[in-house]
Structure formats: C-alpha cells, structure tokens
Amino acid sequence: MAEYQFATRWLIAAPIEQVWEEILNTKSWHLWWDAVDSVVDLEAGDSNGVGTVQRFVWKTPLSYTLTFNTRVIRLEAPIVMEAIAIGDVEGRGLWELTTLDRGTEIYYTWTVRTTKRWMNALAVIARPLLEWNHNIIMQQGGKGLAQRLQTELLASENVEPSKLFSKAEGLKY
C-alpha cells in the first residue's frame, strides 16, 4: 500500500468558535466543500462526540471517488479534532485550530495509505497526480469554508507534514 503524508494550513478571518463549529459539523461540509459528496452517520459517540463513526464519500478533481469511515478519537473544543479512517484510505486526520490576531489558523494533517488496488498498482507513477488532487481538494475546502463564514481566506498553503504520527499502519477501530 502506498503511504502519503499531507499537511495544509488555512488562515480564515473569523473567530475560532465559528470556524470550529463548521469543522465539527461534518454533515454540512457538502454545502461548502465541493469535493464532499456525502457524510452519513453510522454510530453515535459519547456526549462529547468521541467515538462517532461517519461514512464520507469524496469526489475528486481526477474523477474518482473515495469512500471511507472515520471514527473520532479525540475532541478538544475548539482546538483539536482527530479521527482515524478505514476504507479506500486508512490512516489519521488531525484538525488543529489556533486563534491569531487576524483570525483562525487551521492546520490539517492527513497521514494515510491507499487500499484501492489501482491506486497501489500505479502509486509510483501516479503519486504526483494523487498529491496534486489532494492539494486541489484542500484549496477548495479553504475557499468554501471562508465563503460559508462570509469572510476572507487569508492563506491556504501546503506545508511540511508534522511528525505527530509517522505511519498509518496497524490502525483499527
């Protein structure tokens, strides 16, 4: 399986509480994030949302879809949401929010491995395209979130992935 590490930074001219509410409300992502086709609840989590399982279907600029389930493993409002993913990709996603003078800084780190046969078979030659695809999806997400909040996207960039987790191996529900 091919492994990928991505990190994206957005700076949104909005208070952290507003940004957090939109990030946390994954079922409304399709309203502002073009790549999100659907989000379906599968299992309720605890009173804080930890343990919540949802199925995501993403449609990509390269015209393929990704379907995977996520389980929330950490929620620290309004600064951290972390989930593990199992399906067409397996790994971890981490949202980290910080208040800055100009708004809210958001880092999203996505460390995954692909499980689709064609993605693994073509990983060596397709990696640059798959990375480009991810980066376009994240740019669209930043723009969509800013529009949803009726504010400015002050920055959207790919950054060196954090070393919070090095591999997606062995992750199970």
- Rounded-to-integer distance, Cα 106 and Cα 98, Å: 7
Are the C-beta atoms of 108 and 93 separated by less than 8 Å?
yes
The DSSP symbol for 31 reads G
Query: Is residue 169 situated within a structural domain?
Result: no
What's this model's pTM, rounded to 2 decimal places? 0.90
pLDDT above 50: residue 170: no
Q: What is the pLDDT at residue 107?
A: 97
Taking only the tens place, the pLDDT of each residue in 82-115 is 999 999 999 999 999 999 999 999 999 999 999 9
Query: Is residue 39 situated within a structural domain?
Result: yes
pLDDT above 90: residue 171: no
| DSSP bridge partners of 97 | 106
Number of domains in the chain: 1
Query: Is residue 86 situated within a structural domain?
Result: yes
Taking only the tens place, the pLDDT of each residue in 109-150 is 999 999 999 888 988 898 999 999 999 999 999 999 999 999
Q: How far is CA 101 from the centre of its chain?
A: 24
Query: Is residue 168 situated within a structural domain?
Result: no
Query: Is residue 65 situated within a structural domain?
Result: yes
CATH code assigned at 75: 3.30.530.20
Mean pLDDT of 9-38: 98
Taking only the tens place, the pLDDT of each residue in 30-86 is 999 999 999 999 999 999 999 999 999 999 999 999 999 999 999 999 999 999 999
Q: What is the pLDDT at residue 72?
A: 99
Counting Cα atoms < 13 Å in the Cβ hemisphere of 153 gives: 17
Query: Is residue 82 situated within a structural domain?
Result: yes
Hey, what are 26's tokens?
């994954």
pLDDT confidence of 173, banded at 50, 70, 90? very low
Q: What is the pLDDT at residue 163?
A: 44
Q: Which of 53, 52, 46, 128 is nearest to 87 (CA)?
A: 53
Hey, what are 103's tokens?
């708004």
Query: Is residue 171 situated within a structural domain?
Result: no
Query: Is residue 36 situated within a structural domain?
Result: yes
Q: Which of 43, 53, 10 is nearest to 152 (CA)?
A: 10
Give the residue numbers spanning the domain of 144.
3-158
DSSP 40-82: EEEE---TTSTT-EEEEEEE-TTS-EEEEEEEEEEEETTTEEE
Are the C-beta atoms of 116 and 59 separated by less than 8 Å?
no
